[in-house]
Structure 1
Amino acid sequence: AVNVEIAFAVAQVEAGADIIGIGDAVASQISPRMYRKLALPFEQRIIEAVHTKGALARLHICGDTSKILPDMAASGADIIDIDWMVDMERAAVAFADGPAVCGNVDPVRIMLRGTPEEVYAGVVDCMHKGGPRCISAAGCEIPDKSPHANLKSQTAALHVVGQG
């Protein structure tokens, strides 16, 4: 399976992609020891292949990855997504000398069900906690039924914080 992932990533870079997203949706469901044994080596191989082709690698693992943040940093990814339930300050510290941290506004409670004011506050809070290497985004996929006003509020907050 890892060879298929590598071939797909390489094809994307050869087609012009600058950043390759690597998803490992269930890796948060195993112990840190099992992650280091069963997932991390394969993520590292994919990331190395992406880097060899001259692109950046973005790693996303769904769920609470708090226990494997240092291991995720060791993956070699340039950007690491964290889901909404991971403490942004803790992730920023774990990634301080390595990858940028991306996330972690709650996609349902804030982006889908929140008000534009709550979205704005959530984005600003995320950016302040994440520091200068933070890319503010939803902690996972933004639900397609999220109000347009909330997306506009997200953009407005990013412009104010200086990321837009």
Structure 2
Amino acid sequence: MEKMNKEFGTAAVGIGVGLKSIGEAVGSTLRYPEDGLDFVTDHILKDYDQLDDMKVVDPYKCSNLKKIMDDFRKSKERFPNWGSGNNVAGPMTTATSIRSLEAILKDSVRRKEDLHRLLDYCVECNLSWIRAVTKEFGVLPVNIAEPAASLSVLSKKQFLEFEKPHLQDMIAGIKEITGRMPTTHICGKTKGIWEDLIEMGFTSLSVDNSEDLEEVKHCVGDRMRISGNVPPVEVLKYGTIDEVIASVISCLKKGSDSPMGYALAAGCQVPPGVPRENLYAYIYAARKYGRGAKKGCLPKGLSETV
């Protein structure tokens, strides 16, 4: 982190269970490639009878969760003035780290009550994590990542029947624990659920590059902050420096005058192997064209130079 701060000017340290750590904590097997993202190789929940014996995670007793907290504590001791945030997976994404997505989609037709039980369990596991982090480090902003609930995975009917009630429970729990409403990032297509996300009370929506940022602004920008959405693979990893700069400019033009505010970001997680020069180009363009940013207005850097 110290090297990242020196090279790229970052000054934040996050804590979070990511998309799969709860699954690992309850017995799923993960693989951690040296040059790639982690993935589940064996899901613990093969039969719903197992769920009866699965206890809600205790972050102080689960070795992988305890290590995340210990590492964060060391980072905060070293960088006490850096900003912090807590990242968790939503109910459906957490469920896919415990039971395979293919099985879950079948459950949404054949074993509906069992799927609701699993999603309830996932909510309780995530809230247990948030309680522990809040106890140890105080109130931190919470962001919910929920790629498995996008309309690229679920139908709108499945979202309303299975995801929405449990996500609402999770939001209510976060509000009770922290006194704050969470933000969210959802990969893939989300247009059909934007109104639902507003109704649930999210204060900010980060969108995938599969959605048009200007449309997001016009539809929800007067009711929540928006964020996005430079393509992380096509542009940041495989694009040229000029393409990175052009994409940043395009995002600023489309989103920066959003009434409730806008934050430039990649459309999803930045993948391993992004060229350094592309990261430099991203930072350069953000600083140059985002100069003089003000909520609801195009930044001076954009209006004066483009």
Specify the TM-score bucket, using the shorter chain as the normaliser. 0.7 to 0.9
Inter-CA distance 4–85: structure 2 relative to 1 (3 Å threshold): same
What CA deviation, in whole Å up to 9, does each residue of 1:74-93 have, x standing for no partner?
22112211111111111112
What CA deviation, in whole Å up to 9, does each residue of 1:112-162 have, x standing for no partner?
011122111111211221134221111111112001111111112221213
Correspondence 1:141 to 2:269: yes
TM-superposed CA distance for 1:17, in Å, is 5.3
TM-superposed CA distance for 1:51, in Å, is 2.9
Amino acid at match of 2:128: A
Residue 237 of structure 2 corresponds to 112
Residue 124 of structure 2 corresponds to 3
- The 10-residue stretch of structure 1 (38-47 or 7-16) with the greater mean CA deviation from structure 2: 7-16
Aligned match of 2:286 in 129, 153, 158? 158
TM-score normalised to structure 2 length: 0.49
Give the whole-Å Cα distance in 1 for the aligned partners of 2:281 and 2:138.
31
Q: Tell whether the 8 Å contact from 1:59 to 1:80 is kept in structure 2 after alignment.
A: yes
TM-superposed CA distance for 1:97, in Å, is 2.8
Residue 212 of structure 2 corresponds to 87
Inter-CA distance 12–77: structure 2 relative to 1 (3 Å threshold): farther
Say which one has the larger Rg: 2
Q: How does 1:57-96 map to 2 (within 5 A)?
A: 57-96=182-221
Give the whole-Å Cα distance in 2 for the aligned partners of 1:21 and 1:42.
16
Residue 174 of structure 2 corresponds to 50
Q: How does 1:33-48 map to 2 (within 5 A)?
A: 33-48=157-172
Q: Tell whether the 8 Å contact from 1:13 to 1:55 is kept in structure 2 after alignment.
A: no
Give the whole-Å Cα distance in 1 for the aligned partners of 2:139 and 2:233.
29
Aligned-residue RMSD, C-alpha: 1.9
Q: Secondary structure at the match of 1:64?
A: coil
- The 10-residue stretch of structure 1 (130-139 or 105-114) with the greater mean CA deviation from structure 2: 130-139
- The 10-residue stretch of structure 1 (82-91 or 27-36) with the greater mean CA deviation from structure 2: 27-36
Give the whole-Å Cα distance in 1 for the aligned partners of 2:274 and 2:168.
34
Q: Which runs of 5+ in 2 are unaligned?
A: 1-121, 294-306
Displacement over 3 Å in runs of 4+: none
Give the whole-Å Cα distance in 2 for the aligned partners of 1:100 and 1:48.
20
Give the whole-Å Cα distance in 1 for the aligned partners of 2:134 and 2:223.
22
Correspondence 1:21 to 2:146: no
Higher relative contact order (CA 8 A, sep 6+): 1
Q: Tell whether the 8 Å contact from 2:181 to 2:201 is kept in structure 1 after alignment.
A: no
Give the whole-Å Cα distance in 2 for the aligned partners of 1:56 and 1:159.
29
TM-superposed CA distance for 1:70, in Å, is 1.8
Q: Secondary structure at the match of 1:136?
A: strand
What CA deviation, in whole Å up to 9, does each residue of 1:33-68 have, x standing for no partner?
321221122222222333331345121222111222
Give the whole-Å Cα distance in 1 for the aligned partners of 2:131 and 2:248.
33
Q: Tell whether the 8 Å contact from 1:73 to 1:94 is kept in structure 2 after alignment.
A: no
Q: Secondary structure at the match of 2:182?
A: strand
TM-score normalised to structure 1 length: 0.88
Amino acid at match of 1:7: S
- The 10-residue stretch of structure 1 (74-83 or 104-113) with the greater mean CA deviation from structure 2: 74-83
